[in-house]
């Protein structure tokens, strides 16, 4: 992982600030001959789009993607396909209202990247959070759409929010179909109702709330990943922790495994009709850094945004003590918007793992 690139063979480099002319990514290492056009990528960007409920910010960006390179179509190809050369995708920023940034440029918002950015770089594009804005995740989602072509349709990636604030879902009530019926990607109908009330209160109070996101990949064959520092779970951890506001990552039983005994935690094996069958999945589909053939299960903890109406104490660039209060639009729970991003990161890590596996086996 380089600073603005992730992946090893399926490599994604993103660029762009919140209030610049555009943002985008270059996907290098995509194999040739895969179907890819703007409509396919747009589908995933639309799923990510903010402004779809009162629980996510009302910024109205069309987020229309342009594919600038790496694809080709003639009468010999099956529609537009990848060529094996770098795929450059761009999304223009259309919602750059001219604004007064005098406050934000000098006052460090607690919990934000303002202070460490200034400490490091001395100069920063403070408009809308600049490079640390969640806008950057649009580029990841576009890359994730390409990654899905690489891993193919046999691998199914899905995501859900499993906790908002202190309220967890009931795992017994899990129903994937529910995730598209509420504005929270919540797989538990009952929890979704509670969250609605909870987040309405949060929003009205000018406060915000943390969340836990869970993403799963089904259909991953056994054998992807590698031991030691190329572990599939290590790659997943780095990928998920790179999402804005992420503060924790776990695989399978995760932190819960700390409380288990060896017998409880061991994923026992029997023979099934199609080979080995596991009796549980505490390992979350990865053992010794290599996929086992079970579902890959990852959870990410997303902190509550610090952009709140409540006044918090801070300092200015010049060392003056001040009170800070975020006006205008903001998300009461940024974790909700993290679901399509975490799915995209999972897709990218798997695409990379698939290609690396090919390159490892000779």
| Residues 339, 212 contacting (CB under 8 angstroms) | no
Regarding 57 and contact with its own copies (CB under 8 A), the answer is: no
Minimum CB distance to its own copies, residue 191 (Å): 14
Q: How far apart are CA 329 and CA 99, in angstroms?
A: 14
CB atoms inside a 10 Å sphere around CB 42:
17
Using CB under 8 A, which of 51, 84, 183, 219 touches its own copies? 84
Interface of this chain with its own copies, residues 168 to 197, rule: CB under 8 A: none
Candidate list 51, 72, 183, 219; residue touching its own copies; CB under 8 A = 72
Cβ 73 to its own copies shortest distance, Å: 9
Among 52, 61, 222, 281, binds its own copies (CB under 8 A): 222
Stretch that binds its own copies, among 35-43, 53-61, 188-196, 261-269 (CB under 8 A): 261-269
Helix (H/G/I), strand (E/B), else coil: 332? coil
- Only one residue has tokens 């599939």, namely 232
Residues 299-328 that bind its own copies (CB under 8 A): 301-308, 310, 312-315, 319-321
Quote the tokens at residue 253.
Answer: 């039983």
CA distance linking residue 235 with residue 214, whole number of Å: 16
- Count of residues binding its own copies (CB under 8 A)? 160
For residue 135, give the DSSP letter.
G
150 versus 192: smaller Cβ distance to its own copies:
150
CB of 38 to its own copies, least distance (A): 11
Would strands 22-28 and 87-92 be described as parallel, antiparallel, or unpaired? antiparallel
CA-to-CA distance for 2 and 136, rounded, in angstroms? 16
Least Cβ distance, residue 208 to its own copies (angstroms):
4
Please answer whether residues 249 and 240 qualify as being in contact, where contact means their C-beta atoms are separated by less than 8 angstroms.
yes
CB of 156 to its own copies, least distance (A): 19
Task: Tell me how far the alpha carbon of residue 127 is from its chain's centroid.
Answer: 22
Q: Does 248 bind its own copies (CB under 8 A)?
A: yes
Among positions 117-156, residues that touch its own copies (CB under 8 A) are 117, 119-125, 130-132, 136, 150
| Closest distance to its own copies from the beta carbon of 353 (Å) | 11
Mask for 2-31, x = binds its own copies (CB under 8 A): xxxxx-xx-x-xxxxx--xxxxx-x-xx-x
Residue 36, token pair as written in the block: 């890819």
Q: Is 263 in the site for its own copies (CB under 8 A)?
A: yes
**Considering the rule CB under 8 A, would residue 85 count as an interface residue with its own copies?**
yes
Strands (E), 144-206: 156-164, 167-168
Stretch 274-293: interaction string toward its own copies, x if CB under 8 A: -xx--x--xxx-xxxxxxxx
Whose CA is closest to 285, among 335, 242, 224?
224
Exposed, middle or buried: residue 138 (CB in 10 Å: 0-12, 13-18, 19+)? buried
Q: CB of 284 within 8 A of CB of 236?
A: no
CB of 186 to its own copies, least distance (A): 14
**By C-beta, is 256 or 328 nearer to its own copies?**
256
């Amino acid at each position: 992982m380089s600073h603005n690139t992730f992946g090893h063979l399926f490599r994604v480099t993103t660029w762009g600030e919140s209030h610049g002319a555009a943002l985008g990514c270059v996907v290098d290492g995509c194999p040739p001959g895969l179907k890819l056009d703007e409509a396919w990528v747009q589908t995933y960007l639309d799923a990510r789009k903010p402004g779809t409920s009162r629980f996510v910010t009302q910024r109205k960006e069309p987020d229309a993607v342009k594919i600038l390179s790496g694809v080709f179509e003639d009468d010999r190809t099956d529609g537009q396909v990848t060529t094996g050369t770098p795929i450059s995708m761009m999304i223009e920023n259309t919602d750059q209202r001219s604004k007064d940034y005098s406050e934000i440029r000098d006052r460090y918002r607690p919990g934000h990247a303002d202070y460490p950015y200034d400490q490091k770089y001395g100069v920063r594009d403070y408009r809308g959070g600049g490079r640390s804005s969640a806008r950057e995740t649009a580029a990841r989602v576009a890359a994730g759409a390409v990654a899905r072509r690489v891993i193919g349709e046999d691998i199914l990636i899905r995501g859900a929010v499993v906790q908002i604030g202190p309220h967890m879902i009931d795992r017994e009530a899990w129903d994937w179909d529910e995730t598209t019926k509420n504005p929270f990607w919540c797989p538990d109908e009952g929890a979704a109702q509670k969250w609605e009330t909870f987040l309405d209160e949060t929003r009205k109070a000018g406060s915000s709330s943390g969340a836990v996101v869970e993403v799963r990949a089904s259909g991953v064959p056994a054998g992807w990943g590698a031991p030691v520092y190329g572990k599939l779970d290590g790659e997943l951890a780095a990928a998920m922790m790179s999402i804005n506001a992420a503060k924790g990552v776990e695989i399978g039983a995760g932190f819960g495994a700390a409380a288990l005994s060896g017998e409880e935690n061991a994923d026992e094996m029997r023979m099934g009709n199609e080979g080995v069958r596991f009796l549980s999945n505490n390992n979350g589909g990865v053992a010794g850094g290599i996929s086992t053939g079970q579902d890959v299960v990852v959870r990410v903890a997303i902190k509550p945004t610090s952009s709140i109406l409540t006044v918090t104490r801070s300092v200015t660039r010049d060392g003056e003590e001040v009170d800070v209060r975020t006006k205008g639009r903001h998300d009461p729970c940024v974790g909700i918007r993290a679901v399509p991003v975490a799915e995209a990161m999972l897709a990218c890590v798997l695409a990379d793992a698939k290609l690396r596996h090919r390159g490892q086996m000779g």
